């Protein structure tokens, strides 16, 4: 009993410290994404707090961190610029409703259709995006207000502090694990900068994070079809991006922690969080792979870590803004650089020459599209390309072997799937003009996958009918028979019924006879 209590206490301590580390890293991220979306920094901070809290409590798996993200911010900027922030709040509410509907319909299960090369490309691309986002901290405004790269002493100081942060994160766990290494690194570098009087950029240089509690606020937009016409396209895109990023992050965290997540529950939680955020002046959000990696690498495994991160962030806004604004950006950049190193699948370089070329191409493609465009488009492109590659490979697998029976019938034994990709090859396998009067197609090693397959069978039947010959089907699987039944009068063929098979069961002697059944255009098989 004592051991269980002690373990629970240790887990709670680790979760709390991990949550604090995540909250510190959330501040500049939320502020930066708010700037990208063209809204006040508090709009991003409130979103990080509310989305993070609700998904931590109700989400599909513990350990994930959600908040305002750049993938959503780049979509929001046009809406805000053209129609104002109130339309953004209304869009976030509708976005949440769509996500709740997706969860209720269990659409999250389709994340399993994402192939492994797409997952690798997603992880690598997102790691590159996180890295590139940190480079903005190495730029400062010149006298004209333009951003320019740091030079001279400020650059060397920034780089030095980043390297110190990364060194602490890498080597501290070899000496102690009582405190998460990223938190210790932030604390040490902050103390060095504050008490050493070093002149370097801090969180406060980005914006003030001081504020009050988020207040309930119904978006001030006209409740009519014109408003719906404006916000619906944005809401659909934001909902899709949010769910894709959240579900892929859920899958990644599940693999890292060797636990299982619940996709539909995560969809519902993300939706509820965005609905609430839209009514409390937040810009909406989704799961954050960078912050989730910080949490997991710091030892955060329970829901308490996400809850603590959200509550710490709120306390920063309410009470500790002067202190948090003194944290050097170099420390937070160093933390994120370590996240990049830990997130990027370095093994992908080693396996590129060992996996099929098509998989390697998909991996590189998804990584590139993630960097150039956004995550949702990258994943959709990757899935489509992977599906086309699969269809092409499956289409090339169809062929036949033939046999002549003593009664003069010819048997075509079909091998491979019959679907839209293979019907061209399927049509070339048969010779109605020179075949005997009775032809059998044996499907024991084949399956009819779709409507195109049925059309191909129907077209082949017409060819044999015009040649004055009879066509039979044999060994149709139950799912193929269902497709034929759904086809109704489309398939005008004869079906040879399958025999009854059994293991260790005695059947009547005539049970294995093949009975020819002629079906009219209105009958089903």
pLDDT category of residue 468 using cuts at 50, 70 and 90 = confident
Closest CA to 181 of 167, 193, 192: 167
Q: What average pLDDT does range 266-294 have in this prediction? A: 93
* pLDDT reported for residue 496: 59
Closest CA to 272 of 214, 264, 477: 264
Rounded-to-integer distance, Cα 235 and Cα 93, Å: 8
Dihedral sign computed on CA atoms, order 479, 480, 484, 486: positive
Look at residue 401 and give its three-state secondary structure.
strand
Look at residue 66 and give its three-state secondary structure.
strand
Whole-model pTM: value is 0.73
Residue 280 neighbours by CB distance under 10 Å:
18
* Residues 6 or more apart whose Cβ sits within 8 Å of residue 158: 137, 138, 150, 200, 201, 329, 330, 333
pLDDT digit string, tens, across residues 219-272 = 999 989 999 999 999 999 899 889 988 998 898 888 877 778 899 999 999 999
CA distance to 45, 95, 97, per residue, from 282 (Å): 8, 13, 15
Rounded-to-integer distance, Cα 379 and Cα 375, Å: 6
Rounded-to-integer distance, Cα 441 and Cα 115, Å: 34
* pLDDT reported for residue 463: 87
Closest CA to 77 of 124, 125, 35: 35
Q: What average pLDDT does range 292-318 have in this prediction? A: 91
Rounded-to-integer distance, Cα 386 and Cα 137, Å: 37
Q: What average pLDDT does range 163-172 have in this prediction? A: 93
pLDDT digit string, tens, across residues 18-34 = 999 999 888 888 887 88
pLDDT at position 427 over 70: yes
Q: What average pLDDT does range 135-148 have in this prediction? A: 83
pLDDT at position 393 over 90: no
* pLDDT reported for residue 3: 52
* pLDDT reported for residue 519: 35
pLDDT digit string, tens, across residues 191-227 = 999 999 999 999 888 888 888 999 999 999 998 999 9
Q: Share the mean pLDDT of the chain.
A: 84
pLDDT digit string, tens, across residues 473-524 = 887 766 666 656 555 554 545 555 554 433 434 434 443 333 333 333 333 3
Rounded-to-integer distance, Cα 8 and Cα 178, Å: 15
Residue 295 neighbours by CB distance under 10 Å:
29
Dihedral sign computed on CA atoms, order 447, 453, 456, 460: positive
* pLDDT reported for residue 501: 38
* pLDDT reported for residue 82: 92
* pLDDT reported for residue 2: 47
């Amino acid at each position: 009993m004592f051991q269980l209590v002690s373990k629970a206490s240790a887990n709670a301590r680790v979760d709390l410290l991990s949550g604090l580390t995540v909250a510190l890293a959330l501040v500049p991220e939320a502020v930066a994404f708010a700037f990208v979306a063209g809204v006040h920094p508090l709009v991003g901070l409130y979103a990080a707090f509310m989305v993070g809290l609700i998904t931590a409590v109700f989400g599909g798996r513990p350990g994930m961190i959600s908040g305002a993200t750049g993938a959503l911010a780049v979509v929001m900027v046009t809406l805000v610029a053209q129609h104002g922030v109130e339309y953004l709040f209304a869009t976030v509410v509708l976005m949440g409703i769509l996500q709740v509907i997706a969860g209720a319909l269990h659409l999250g299960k389709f994340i399993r259709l994402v192939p492994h090369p797409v997952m690798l490309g997603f992880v690598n691309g997102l790691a590159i995006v996180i890295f590139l986002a940190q480079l903005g901290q190495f730029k400062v405004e010149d006298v004209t207000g333009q951003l320019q790269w740091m030079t001279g002493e400020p650059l060397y100081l920034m780089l030095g502090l980043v390297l110190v942060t990364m060194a602490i994160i890498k080597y501290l766990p070899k000496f102690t694990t009582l405190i998460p290494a990223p938190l210790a690194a932030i604390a040490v570098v902050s103390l060095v900068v504050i008490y050493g009087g070093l002149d370097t950029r801090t969180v406060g240089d980005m914006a003030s994070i001081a504020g009050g509690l988020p207040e309930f606020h119904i978006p001030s937009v006209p409740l009519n079809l014109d408003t719906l016409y404006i916000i619906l396209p944005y809401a659909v895109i934001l909902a899709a991006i949010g769910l894709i990023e959240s579900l892929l992050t859920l899958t990644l965290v599940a693999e890292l922690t060797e636990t299982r997540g619940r996709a539909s529950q995560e969809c519902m939680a993300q939706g509820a969080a965005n609905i609430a955020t839209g009514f409390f002046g937040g810009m909406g959000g989704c799961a954050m792979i960078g912050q989730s990696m910080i949490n997991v690498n710091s030892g955060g495994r329970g829901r308490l870590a996400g809850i603590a991160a959200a509550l710490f962030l709120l306390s920063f806004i309410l009470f500790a803004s002067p202190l948090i604004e003194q944290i050097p950006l170099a420390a937070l950049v160093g933390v994120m650089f370590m996240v990049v190193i830990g997130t990027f699948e370095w093994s992908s370089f080693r396996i590129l020459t060992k996996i099929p070329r098509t998989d390697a191409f998909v991996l590189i493609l998804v990584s590139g599209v993630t960097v150039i465009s956004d995550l949702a488009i990258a994943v959709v492109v990757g899935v489509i390309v992977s599906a086309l590659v699969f269809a092409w490979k499956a289409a090339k697998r169809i062929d036949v072997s033939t046999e002549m029976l003593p009664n003069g019938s010819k048997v075509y034994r079909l091998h491979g799937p019959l679907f839209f990709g293979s019907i061209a090859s399927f049509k070339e396998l048969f010779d109605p003009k020179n075949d005997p009067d009775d032809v059998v197609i044996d499907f024991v090693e084949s399956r009819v996958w779709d409507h195109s397959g049925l059309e191909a069978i129907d077209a082949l039947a017409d060819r044999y009918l015009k040649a004055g010959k009879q066509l039979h089907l044999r060994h149709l699987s139950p799912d193929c028979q269902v497709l034929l039944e759904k086809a109704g009068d489309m398939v005008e063929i004869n079906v040879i019924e399958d025999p009854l098979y059994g293991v260790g069961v005695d059947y009547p002697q005539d049970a294995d006879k093949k009975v020819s059944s002629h079906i009219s255009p209105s009958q089903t098989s």
